[in-house]
Amino acid sequence: MKKLILSLILALSLSFSFAGEGMWLPLLLKALNEAEMQSMGMRMTAEDIYSVNQGSLKDAIVHFGGFCTGEIISRSGLVLTNHHCGYGAVQSHSTIENNLLKNGFWAMNKGEELPNPGLFVKFIVRIEDVTEEVLAGVNEDMTSRERQSAVDKNINGLEVEKVDYQDYMVRPFFNGNQYFLFVTETYSDVRLVGAPPESIGKFGADTDNWEWPRHTGDFSLFRIYASPDNTPAEYSADNVPYTPKHSLPISLDGVETGDFTLVFGFPGRTNQYLPSPAVKQIMDVVDPARINIRSKSLKVMDKYMRADEATRLKYAGRFASVANGWKKWIGETQGLEQTDALGKKNELETEFTSRILASDELQSMYGNLLPSFEELYANNTPYIKARIYYDETFNRGIQLFRIVRNLDRLKSTYVNNGEEAYANLAERYLSFFEDYFEDYETIIDREVCEVLLNHFYSNLDKKFLPESIIKEDAFMRDLRVKELTHQLFQDEVATIEGVRALLALDGKGFGEAIDKLYAIAFYRGVQDKLKSDISPSYDANTEGIRELQRIYMKALMEVFPERTFWPDANSTLRVTYGYAEGYEPRDAVTYQPVSFLDGVMQKYKPGDYEFDVHPKLIELYEQGDFGQYADRVTGKMPVCFLGSNHTSGGNSGSPAIDADGNLVGLNFDRVWEGTMSDIHYDRSICRNIMVDIRYVLFVLDKFGGAGYLVEEMELVHPKS
C-alpha cells in the first residue's frame, strides 16, 4: 500500500505547475516540490526547509497553543504569533486598572515577562510514513468500523523511537489512505513578552475582517523557557530561555510583486477533494442556512448597538464572533460561484467516469462511486439542514440557551458524581455567569429569540420540530412564538440574580428547582428531538459519505496517475508557497499587494472602537519617524501585504518566508473573495494577508520602546 500511494503521488508530478495551491508535507518537498519552488525563485533546498539531521526551518515553527502557529525569531526562544492568537493570554493579565488589551504590553526585561498557565508550544521533531504498519491486515471487505478498529489497534502497537520528554501522534492523510507519524516536543513554560494595543493589533476589527486593503498590526510576542539542559519543563523561576535549533533571520528589505513567498504552519481543515454533490450542498443548503440565521441575529444586535454606546461596547465581541463566520460563508459562496467550482468538479467527474468505463477493473471497483455520492448527499440534505437550524438557533444564536445548557450539565454532575463535584462546578459556574451577564442584555436576547424561533418554525419541515409547537398557519405560529419567548424569559435563568439563587442551593435542591423551569424543559425537548429524529439518520449518512470519500480519494489517485495530489489540511505541519501579488476581485477593480501606514491614517476615526489611532502612532507618522523599517524604495511605512499562498484556519501566526529563508511577514487572514479556498483554491482570487515584519519591528521598537528585543534578532538585507 505504501509503495502504491507514493508511486501514485510521484508520477509525473513535476509536469504540473501549482504556484500557490496545496498544503504540502515538508518531508516530501524534495520529491514533489523542490524543483517547482526553485523555478519560482526559491534559493533554498528542501533540506533547508525540513531536515532531521541539522537545524532547518521546521525547527523554528511551533504549534502555538494547539490552535495557531508561531515562529522563533531569536536565539533566546523569542516567539512571534498573531495578536488574536495571544489575545487570551493578554486578556488573562488585564484588569480594569491595568488593561493590557487596551494599552498594550511590553516587557522591558526578562524579569517582566508574564507566565501563562496552560499555554504551550509544540515542535515537530520528525515525520515518518507509517502507512504500511497502520494498514497492516486492513482490507476492503471490512466495514468502516472494522477498518477503524484495526487501524487504531495498529497505531497503538507502533514502536516509536523517541526520548522520554518526547511524544508522538499518528494522523490520517488522503481520507485514511495514508498515515504519518509525528514525533513532538512540547514546552509549557511560555511567557508573554509583548503585544500592541488593540488599536493596532485589532485595527479595522469587524469592518475590515476578511477585507483588503488591511492595516492591522496583528502580532504578539512570547518567549519559550526550558530547563537548564534545554528540555521541556513546567514553569519554574529556575527555567532559562530556550535555545532553538534554528531561528528565523529577519529581512528588512520587504517584498515586491512577484517575490517568492513560503508560509509554514499548521492549517486546520480543508476539503479540496469533495465530489460535486457536496459542493452543491454547501452552496445551496449549508452556507445559505447559516447566513440567513446569523443575518437575523446580527440585524437585532446592530439595531441596539447603534442606539447606545454602552450596548455597543458590551456586544462588540459577540457581534464580531457571529459576523466572522457569516461574512466568510457569504464570501465562500460567491467565490465558488465566481470561479465556477461546481462546473470544474463536474468536468473532473465526467473525465473520471470516462476513464473508469474504459477499464473493466476500474469500473468494477469504482463504477458506483459517484451515483452513491448523489444518493447519500440527497438523503442527508434535510438532516444536515435541520442540524444547522438547531445548532445556529439553540447553541449559537439565542444566548439564554447557553445558560440553560450549563445549568442542565450542572444537574448531571450532581446526579453522576455527587454533592462535592456539584459544589466545585457550581462555584466555577458562578464566576463564569457573573462575567457572562456583564455583557448580556435580556432585551436583545429576547428579541433575537423571537426572531430566530419564528425563522426556525417557518423553515423546517414539521417532522423536525420539537413538540413544544405545532406548525399551523403564520398567524398562529407568530402567536405561539411570542408565547414561547415570554415563557422562556420569565424563568430565573434569564437574570444573574436568579442564577445566583439557583447556584446557592445544594445539589438536591438545585436539581429539583431547575426541573420546574420552563426553559429547562424546553431545552431538553429540543435536545430529545435532535437526538431521536435527526442525529441518527444524519450520523448514518455521514458515516457512509466518509467511507465513500476514502474510496473516492484512492480512486482519484489511481485514475489520474499524471496528477499530483496534496493531502487536505488536518492541523499538521505544512508548507504552502506562492508569490507576493495583488489581484482583481471584480470588473475594473485592482488591488495592489502592499498597504502602508498612510492607509491607517486615511481610515482614522477618533474615538471609534475599530478605527481609532493611538496618539503616539499619529505622532510617529506625522514626523516620518520610521527608523530602519521604512520601505527602501518609497520611504513609507509598510503595514500588510498579499500572497497567493494557500492558507486556512490554523495558519494564523504562520511565518511568511522569502526565497532565502528569511522572515518577511506574519500570516493572519485571507481575502473575502477567496474564502472558498478550503473547498476550491483558485489563484485568480485566493490571497492570504500578512503583516509586514517591518511594521512589527517598527511598532515594537519605535512605538513600544522595546528596541532591546530587536537586538536579539538577526536582521538581514538579502536584496542589497
Instruction: Please list the active-site residues.
Output: 84, 218, 652
What is the spatial distance between Cα 70 and Cα 65, in angstroms, rounded to a whole number?
Answer: 9
What is the spatial distance between Cα 433 and Cα 448, in angstroms, rounded to a whole number?
Answer: 20
Please report the sign of the dihedral spanned by the C-alpha atoms of residue 695, residue 673, residue 327, residue 569. negative
Specify the amino acid at residue 275. Answer: P
Q: What is the DSSP string of 1-29?
A: -HHHHHHHHHTTGGGS--TT---B-GGGH
Residues paired with 657 in a beta bridge: 262, 663
Output DSSP code: residue 59: G
Contact 319, 301 (CB under 8 A): yes
Contact 296, 456 (CB under 8 A): no
Q: What is the DSSP string of 422-458?
A: HHHHHHHHHHHHHHHHHT--HHHHHHHHHHHHHHHHH
Contact 214, 597 (CB under 8 A): no
C-alpha cell at 253: 528589505
Measured between alpha carbons, how far is residue 612 from residues 15, 463, 605, 697 in Å? 50, 50, 5, 21
For 698, the enclosing helix (H) or strand (E) is: helix 693-698
In this structure, how many other beta carbons lie within 10 angstroms of the beta carbon of residue 140? 8
Q: What is the DSSP string of 236-260?
A: -TT-EE---S----EESS---TT-E
Place of cell 499548521: 266
What is the spatial distance between Cα 491 and Cα 407, in angstroms, rounded to a whole number?
Answer: 13
